[in-house]
Amino acid sequence: MTDLVGIVIVSHSIDIAKGINDMVRQIAGSELKVAFCGGTADGRLGTNMKSVQDAIDAAWSPAGVVILVDLGSAEINSELAIDMLPAERRGSVVVCNAPIVEGAVVAATEAKSGSPLADVKRAAEELSPQ
């Protein structure tokens, strides 16, 4: 069986992240790994590197992982979490420049069909305004 690309959702709000996760789960089936995180360790709005690292671990797949983010620090903490990965995993995790809700759903649809990492990222990013 082919390994499917994993999906990570990173929002400033845990409620938004969880809501998107629910929507993705509807289409993801049981074989696709999806993880989400949001908010600070003490429950405020924001993001933190550790929770992104944990989400990457939870969604890890040999096919790679795409990360969907909302604003500023979600992207920066995700990039830093990628920098901190062991060298052999670092190249297999990418942040998508895509709207977080639509991007996550499109990425999950693409990933579920067995597309490689670059195709999953491209499908999500085609949603971004040019």
Partner 1 sequence: MRIDPARLIDAIADCMIENMQELTELDAAIGDADHGLNMRKGGEALRADMAAFKAASLPQALQLAGNILATTVGGAAGPLYGSLLMTMGKSIGPDPDLGEVGKALVAGVEAMERLGKVEAGQKTMLDVWKPVSRLVAREGATVQSVRALAHEAAVATIPMEARRGRASYLGERSRGHMDPGARSSELLILAVIDALEFEQ
Catalytic residue IDs: 12
DSSP 12: S
In whole angstroms, the minimum distance from the beta carbon of 59 to partner 1 comes to 19
Two tokens, residue 114: 């067995």
> Which C-beta is closer to partner 1: that of 97 or that of 109?
97
Instruction: Give the separation between CA 62 and CA 69, rounded to whole angstroms.
Output: 21
> Which C-beta is closer to partner 1: that of 76 or that of 127?
76
> Which C-beta is closer to partner 1: that of 71 or that of 118?
71
In whole angstroms, the minimum distance from the beta carbon of 74 to partner 1 comes to 9
Beta carbons of 7 and 107 less than 8 angstroms apart: yes
Give the CA distances from residue 37 to residues 62, 69, 91, in Å, rounded to whole numbers and listed in that order.
Answer: 21, 10, 21
Burial environment of residue 99 by CB neighbours within 10 A (0 to 12, 13 to 18, 19 or more): middle
In whole angstroms, the minimum distance from the beta carbon of 102 to partner 1 comes to 20
Interface positions with partner 1 (CB under 8 A): 40-42, 44-50, 71-73, 76-77, 79-80, 83
| Rg of the chain in Å (alpha carbons) | 13
